[in-house]
Amino acid sequence: MESSARTATVVGSHQGKVRVGVIGAGVFGGYHAQKFASSFHSEFVGVFDLNIENAGKLVAKIGKGEVFSSFEAIADACDALVIATPASSHAFLTRKALEAGKHALVEKPLALTGVEARALAKLALDRDLVLSVGHQERLVFEAMGLFATGERPKRVEAVRMGPASPDGRCEDVSVVFDLMIHDLDLTAELFGGDVRGVDGSGHSAHTRLLDHATSELMFGVNGHARLAASRCAEKRERWMKIEYASGTVEIDFLTRTVKNTTAFNIRADVSAILPDPLKAADEAFLAAIQGRAAPVITGGVGARAAAMAEMVESCALAVTVAA
């Protein structure tokens, strides 16, 4: 797998405010709608959702925009589209957006296969469109300085667990594509993306898909990562431990606290330096479209994470047993 997910990007040249529409009136659709409605650099156009009532409620809550009756209608009114629908529909809708000539910000995962995700990244490049993917936790790591240490870690361990969502949200894909994909992305960036081996295991619990999964990944010469993700755990845990030759960095994503015993100048005041990662990601998307900055969370980033998730899931399914 390529060592970098940031080669080949598009920087837009849009003049004026970017007209943004949101596809999907669920939880994250609502978050994105609020961010773009309040941004100086965008004009929030409205929402399209198959559930028109939900779309209407979201527009009423925002106090701006309109409800659209079809994908084509909202696409015609926009310069950029946010894809915040169930994960299994991301690739299809992202392709529709790009083929319509629209910049696209899609929630993770970009797609459910590496082949499909890479094809979308290429399509965006071919059409000179900005494609961004919702891996905003990497912005936290960048702000902390974790991607600029100049040293690869020896080992990474990460846990991302919690109980099932009461509304069944995200259960159209496995826990690998739902939760673990965040840590796959972060780990790949820490190690430089040089994946040498992947193994995985898991089981289902309350869905027909994997609800608990673990993975072992090898990077470079002797880098090793062990990741665990679950949506059937009794309590929430979200942490990562990064081991270097000089010490360790431990991050608790729930309490937003950091312990650092290395010699690296790691910023620990996460909440102060980046209080709203989602807003930062949305603003970075707008900046790329307007040519004010290079894209940050690119289609290549999303494609690499999707390809890794596919490999982990394939390994896990080969040994899975129903719980």
* Residues 141 and 207 grouped into a single domain: yes
* Residues 266 and 181 grouped into a single domain: yes
Q: Which among 195, 188, 197, 194 is positioned nearest to 147, based on CA atoms?
A: 188
Q: pLDDT of 304-316, one tens digit each?
A: 999 999 999 999 9
Whether residue 10 is contained in a domain is answered as: no
* Residues 123 and 51 grouped into a single domain: yes
Integer Cα distance of 145 and 68 in angstroms? 42
> By the 8 A CB rule, do 215 and 227 touch?
yes
Whether residue 8 is contained in a domain is answered as: no
* Residues 168 and 234 grouped into a single domain: yes
CATH number for the domain harbouring residue 241 = 3.30.360.10
* Residues 294 and 312 grouped into a single domain: no
Whether residue 5 is contained in a domain is answered as: no
Q: How many domains does the chain have?
A: 2
pTM here is 0.93
Residue 111: domain span:
18-136+278-299
Residue 269 is predicted with a pLDDT of: 87
* Residues 267 and 294 grouped into a single domain: no
Residue 8 is predicted with a pLDDT of: 62
* Residues 70 and 129 grouped into a single domain: yes
Residue 236 is predicted with a pLDDT of: 96
- Cα distances (Å, whole numbers) of residue 218 to 181, 190, 306: 16, 12, 17
Residue 206 is predicted with a pLDDT of: 87
- Number of C-beta neighbours around residue 205 at 10 A: 17
Q: Which among 94, 107, 105, 93 is positioned nearest to 28, based on CA atoms?
A: 107
Whether residue 81 is contained in a domain is answered as: yes
Whether residue 313 is contained in a domain is answered as: yes
Residue 322 is predicted with a pLDDT of: 40
Whether residue 178 is contained in a domain is answered as: yes
* Residues 113 and 160 grouped into a single domain: no
H-type alpha helices, the chain = 27-38, 52-62, 71-76, 90-99, 114-126, 137-144, 175, 181-191, 270-273, 277-289, 299-319
* Residues 164 and 313 grouped into a single domain: yes
* Residues 288 and 240 grouped into a single domain: no
Q: Measure the N-to-C terminal CA separation of the chain; round to a whole number of Å.
A: 33
* Residues 132 and 145 grouped into a single domain: no
Whether residue 3 is contained in a domain is answered as: no
CATH number for the domain harbouring residue 61 = 3.40.50.720
Whether residue 12 is contained in a domain is answered as: no
* Residues 65 and 46 grouped into a single domain: yes
Residue 13 is predicted with a pLDDT of: 81
Residue 5 is predicted with a pLDDT of: 59
Q: Which residues of the chain have pLDDT under 50?
A: 2-4, 319-323
